[in-house]
Amino acid sequence: MTTPKHFLMLPNYFLADLPPEATLSPAMITAACEALRRNREKYLAPRKLEDIVQLLCEVAGGWLEPDNKYRRLALDSFRSAGLPAQLAGDPLAPAGAAPGAPGPGFSAATVARGLDDFFRRFTPENFQALLAQDLGDAAAATRVAVAEPSGHPPQAARHFWHGPQLLVHVAAGNIPNPALMSLTLGLLTRSAQFMKCASGASLLPRLFAHSLYEADHKLGACLELAEWRGGNEAVEAAVFAGADCVTATGSDAVLAAIRARVPSHVRFLGYGQRVSFGYVAREALSDEAVAELVARLADDVVAWDQNGCLSPHVIYVEERGAVESDRFAQLLAVELMNREAAEPRGPISMEESAAIASRRSIYETLAVHRGDVKIWQSQNSTAWTVVFEHEGRFHFSPLNRFIFVKPVPDLAAVFPGVDELKGKISTVAVAARPERLKDVAAQLARWGVTRICPPGQMQNPPLTWRHDGRPALGDLVTWTDFEFEPQINTDDHR
């Protein structure tokens, strides 16, 4: 076990920084929540939104620098000897995590790419677009220079908004970006925040929180992160009791369990299980364009090793393109093989590995008997797998770079196969010429898909992304409608 030296320079600041032997008590949590509320009142509530945006952009800019302390810590911890950080006896191993608790293991290259994609979105323009989209002209009144979306002059704005005083997040552990985004949104609503990290997955949220704390101690004083194995009812009750709003990400069962324990006056925002797929129209399968298309879809499979809700399980490919669907699958396999050299898949658990091996052996067997089933796979590892089959039904991938390619005659043929997943599909990456793209998107939207994006962008939604079709920032705030006689001077509102 080696301790990265630069980590020792980090202060022991958050509950998640405590050594593993420390146990959290409800009283500690209640005290932390009270401190958070006080700090928010003093340091965050009066803060100008534009200053918060600026700070976020500066911190994000730091994370994009190769020598940034936090970035290096993040990458180093994933670099250890081909084992997930917490299994390799990493010094950042989470407090209170059960030994061998499943946690994300990614290669440093995968983490680097994921962090770059994420933090590059942090620009003043992108934040302004988000504020304008979710808060409209009220955001303009906060003096962030946004366009006037509604045409109202600022002095005619008729609403006030405020965020939760204490916002509690129950974060999932599959990939880190959603937790980072949750913290970001909470800062924009000037909320004190308490994040319960998934066991084995607190590292990146902690590093992000430390980077904010370093940039602005007062703002950092409005954040708390802790890690425990979900289901610690006494501790969780203390957190929920202190909250004005709780967000939770996880399986439907986990969300239902949390929802039942959040007091009824507390707003609950649950982000449940979703799956995603790709759709390739035949005109996108030209000889000239196919290499670029394959590279982009490989980006989607490789990003966070396919572990997010926005990662594709299946790519539907229209038949009779210049490049046939099985050839496309083969090209994708070659691309995944090449990616493995540059950006290897992270270590996975025995269960995940066994799930891939089991799935492979079925398709290997079927491939011998059926001309319409083909499989390409890495040798002596489960690093990547492409299965091609003429079975339109959506199949869940065992993930970790295992992708199904399914030929279909047209988009209409996709819908029966995903029917059982209505309301559970998040993202569809569509490759089509502009003239057809709009029509395909309209059909997908009508069916109930909540996000349509270009290939290569599945795991990289913009800040304005409406999570599961809901405004992620807008859902946090509470409005005060202000109806006034025209002669009243409203210049002074915030």
Partner 1 sequence: MAENQPVNKHRMNKALSSFAARLRLAMARQAHHLDFDVLALQLYALQFQLNPAYGKICAARGLTPGTVEDWTQIPFVPAKAFKELEFSSIPPDERTAVFHSSGTLEQKPSRHFHCAESLALYEASLWPWFAANCRLPLAAPGCAEPGCQLLILAPPPEQAPHSSLVHMFETVRQNLGAAGWRSGRSVFCGRLESHGAWGLDFESVLALLKPDLPSPIPLPQLILGTAFSFVHLLDFLAENQLRLKLPRGSRVMETGGYKNRSRFLPKAELHALITQQLGVGRENILCEYGMSELSSQAYESDVQAPGSRLQPRAFRFPPWARGQIISPETGREVADGETGLIRIFDLANVYSVAAIQTEDLGIRRGDGFELIGRAQRAEPRGCSLMTA
Instruction: In whole angstroms, give the CA distance from residue 197 to residue 178.
Output: 11
- Is residue 274 a contact point for partner 1 (CB under 8 A)? yes
Instruction: In whole angstroms, give the CA distance from residue 423 to residue 411.
Output: 18
- Is residue 232 a contact point for partner 1 (CB under 8 A)? no
Tell me the per-residue interface mask from 354 to 373 with partner 1, x by CB under 8 A, - otherwise. xxxxx--xx--xx-xx----
Instruction: In whole angstroms, give the CA distance from residue 363 to residue 365.
Output: 5
Within 8 A by CB and 6+ apart from 416, the residues are 392
Q: Minimal CA–CA distance to 312: which of 328, 303, 300, 330?
A: 300
Tally of CB atoms within 10 A around 474: 18
Q: Are 313 and 396 in contact (CB under 8 A)?
A: yes
Tell me the per-residue interface mask from 74 to 113 with partner 1, x by CB under 8 A, - otherwise. ----------------------------x-x---------
- Is residue 345 a contact point for partner 1 (CB under 8 A)? no
Nearer of residues 142 and 199 to partner 1, judged by Cβ: 199
Nearer of residues 323 and 399 to partner 1, judged by Cβ: 399
Instruction: In whole angstroms, give the CA distance from residue 411 to residue 279.
Output: 8
Residue 327: CB minimum distance to partner 1, A: 21
Residue in the structure block whose two tokens are 């029966």:
416
Q: How many CA atoms lie within 13 A of 284 on its CB side?
A: 26
Options 48-56, 59-67, 152-160, 246-254: segment touching partner 1 (CB under 8 A): 246-254
Residues 281-320 interacting with partner 1 (rule: CB under 8 A): 307-309, 311, 313
Q: Are 321 and 283 in contact (CB under 8 A)?
A: yes
Tell me the per-residue interface mask from 113 to 142 with partner 1, x by CB under 8 A, - otherwise. ------------------------------
- Is residue 173 a contact point for partner 1 (CB under 8 A)? yes
Residue 234: CB minimum distance to partner 1, A: 22
Within 8 A by CB and 6+ apart from 318, the residues are 280, 281, 282, 285, 325, 407, 408, 409, 410
Contact residue for partner 1 among 58, 351, 372, 410 (CB under 8 A): 351
Nearer of residues 308 and 321 to partner 1, judged by Cβ: 308
Q: Which residues make up the interface to partner 1 (CB under 8 A)?
A: 102, 104, 172-175, 249-251, 271-275, 307-309, 311, 313, 349-358, 361-362, 365-366, 368-369, 380-382, 395-396, 398-399, 421, 424
